[in-house]
Structure 1
C-alpha cells in the first residue's frame, strides 16, 4: 500500500511539472502594469479591457502607472489602447496579456514576479523582459491618419536575435 501511494505521488508530481512547463499557470494571480514614460509632460490615455471586463479610461501623468490584477483562466485575454496626449492622435492597441506559456514567459517576465509591465515612451511601447534583463521594444505609435494599423514586433527568442535587432 505504501509503495502504491508513493508511486502515485511521484506520477502526480511528474505530471504537475510537465503541465507547468507546457501549460500556462492556470488559476494563479497575475498583473498587468502600464507606465507613462513619455517626454515633455505628455499625458498617457489608457483603456484596457477583456471580453468580460472593461476598465474605465485612465489618464496617467509622467511616472504614473495603471495596474490591474486577475486570475489566469484558459481564455483570459486583455488588450489595451494607449494614446499620447495632449492631442491623443498617436495611438497603439496591443495584447497586454494572453494565457499562453510563450506569452507569459517569452514576452512578459514569467510568473516571478507575475507581472507584465508595459512602458509607453516616445518611440513606442516596450515590455519588461526578464530574459534579456531590460525592456524590449514591441510596438510603434500609429500616426494620426493610421488609427488601427498596428505593427507588432515579436519578442526575441534568443540573445542572438536580440543582438541582430539592435
Structure 2
C-alpha cells in the first residue's frame, strides 16, 4: 500500500510537470549608456553569453525539473571592460509555489530584483563588485 501511495505521488508530479506553466527569467539593462553582459547557467543548461544595450532584456523560459531542484546562476558585467560585475543566484525552484516571473535589472548602483510583472517595487539585492584582471 505504501508503494502504491508513493507511485501515485510521483505520477501526479509527472503529470503536473507536463501541464505546469513555464518559469520566466528576465534580465534587463538599465545602466547609463553601457552594455550589460550576461551569462546564465544551471547544472544542466548553459544559456550562453548575451550583450544587452540600454533598455534591452533577455528572457529565458524553462520548466522546473521533476524534483524541484532547478537552480540558475547568472553573471552580469558592465561594459566596456566588464571589470564591474556580479555573480548571483537568479532562480531557485520551490515546492511551495509557482514563481512565474523573476526579473533582474542591472542599474548603475546595483542589481535589482522583482518577482511580479505587475508593479511590485524593485528591491536592490546586490552591489557591483570591482574585479581586477
Provide TM-score, normalisation by structure 1. 0.61
Higher-Rg structure is 1
TM-aligned CA distance change 1:115 to 1:89, over 3 Å: same
Q: Does 1:69 pair with 2:58? A: no
8 A contact 1:31–1:116 mirrored in 2: yes
Find the counterpart in structure 2 of residue 142 from structure 1.
129
Structure 1: state its 5+ residue gaps: 1-25, 148-166
Structure 2: state its 5+ residue gaps: 1-15
Q: Give the C-alpha shift of residue 87 in structure 1.
A: 1.0
Q: Does 1:116 pair with 2:116? A: no
Alpha-carbon RMSD: 2.2
Pick the structure with more helix per residue. Answer: 1
Q: Does 1:82 pair with 2:76? A: yes
Q: Does 1:100 pair with 2:94? A: yes
Q: Does 1:35 pair with 2:28? A: yes
8 A contact 1:129–1:136 mirrored in 2: no
**Which residue, 40, 51, 61 being the options, matches 1:48?**
40
Provide TM-score, normalisation by structure 2. 0.76
Alignment coverage as a number of residue pairs: 112
| Deviant stretches of 4+, over 2 Å | none
